[in-house]
Structure 1
Amino acid sequence: MKKTALITGATSGLGYEFVKLLSKDGFDLVLVARNQQKLEEIKQTFSNIQVTVIAKDLSIAGAAKEVFREMEDKQIDIDILVNNAGFGLMGKFDELDIHKQTEMIQLNITALTELTYYFLPGFKRKNHGRILNVASTAAFQPGPLMAVYYATKAFVLSFSEALVEELNGSGVTVTTLCPGATKTNFASIANVEGTKMFSNAMSSDIVAQKGYEAMMSGKRVVITGGLNKAGAYSAKFLPRSLAAKIAKYVAREK
């Protein structure tokens, strides 16, 4: 019996790379994103697998539950959950639009948490399931000029690592992908393309491959790139005030 993976933010960037990797391994797919037309275009490229598309804006309260209910109604059993959807914003906290920042919290934290909550019981009943939560190296320190974004990714990492311990022996694995700067449309949306942090961005296919391999092997956390690993680990030992200053420096223009 074929297994099915659900991917959020599936139409571009890392999400689309996960779509390609999972389809290559023969998984049926459920693709969730806002753009119906783009979802349909992607669906038409596959003939060997079953692809279900759901046009849903997960930054809207209640959308995650609607996705889960649609899976129940269509009797689609999910085996892999890839919580990839998310976005960031560059700027001082009090100068950015508060509505956009609360949308970021809703998407990066609440939707991810709710989808995990709704699908996890089914995974546990089967004694099998894989969850991949996309965080960031931003999770390891405070992030001036992207304060809310960094905080959302710190939540994702902490939440995911806690679940690993709760689920020990259940057959369900939770993997957190922590990439550094990656060549996706994230940079243009967040307005960080011209900053120091994106001067050596990794390609999205390489980052996705590392995350996919880690998920399939049940690894707890994967940080992509040698410099990113060094930065993440060093942040654990630096005073948080200094880590914040470094994060502010790399957020500035080149």
Structure 2
Amino acid sequence: MRKTIAMVLFSCAINTIAQDLTVMKKSWEYKVVEKSDNSKVYDRNTGEHIKESEVKKIFKKYKKIYLEKIIDENGDVEKKLIDSSDPTKIYKWDISKRSESGEKFPNLNFQSINGENFRLKDLKGNLIILRFELFSDNFRFKKYEIEELDARINSLNENSNKVKSFIFFITPPDEIRKGFDLEGSNFVPVANSGNINLRYIIKEFPTNIVVDREGNLIGYYSDIYEFNIEELLSDN
């Protein structure tokens, strides 16, 4: 049985608040570089906005601050929530906040590594597969699974164009181009997906999200053999 990479991600455990994430590679390691933005911090308990001057005081008092990021449909940080009663309290992702099967799946506006813009809500009428990976290099990226999914999609023949598939990596475009070398793949690669992972509460890699032709969630799958593309397409 293949192993699934499990990664428990806390929204933030940092000394400065950050909004924009950039993943940089050094040898075998990837480092996340974040740009500070103290303007979007809110009290988790009251919902009130916290002034930047007050945020700086909290940073000065505590060594580590744990924040929950709220990500909008553009993949940007909309809010950062802090527990005012205990800023050092670790926030754990709550999978129960995910959309449930049959519910309308939250929209996402995103761009491929080639600059093509997409909106999930504009893809209604198609079966949608969102594949989430961490890295795109040959040692960690499960390329063989994409080849298998491609084969299944292509076997649909004239119905293959009714499946729209995307693959999200946390790495930048140049790194993806080096590792994602599957010519003619149905999967459109998307870079720098850290915030998107937060939006959809992706805790395991790889994860496959399947959305039906009406825009409703079918399910989250860690194993590609847990869903049948042909059957799902015929059911819609």
- TM-score (structure 2 length as normaliser): 0.26
Higher helix share: 1
Q: Which of 1 and 2 has greater Rg?
A: 2
Higher relative contact order (CA 8 A, sep 6+): 2
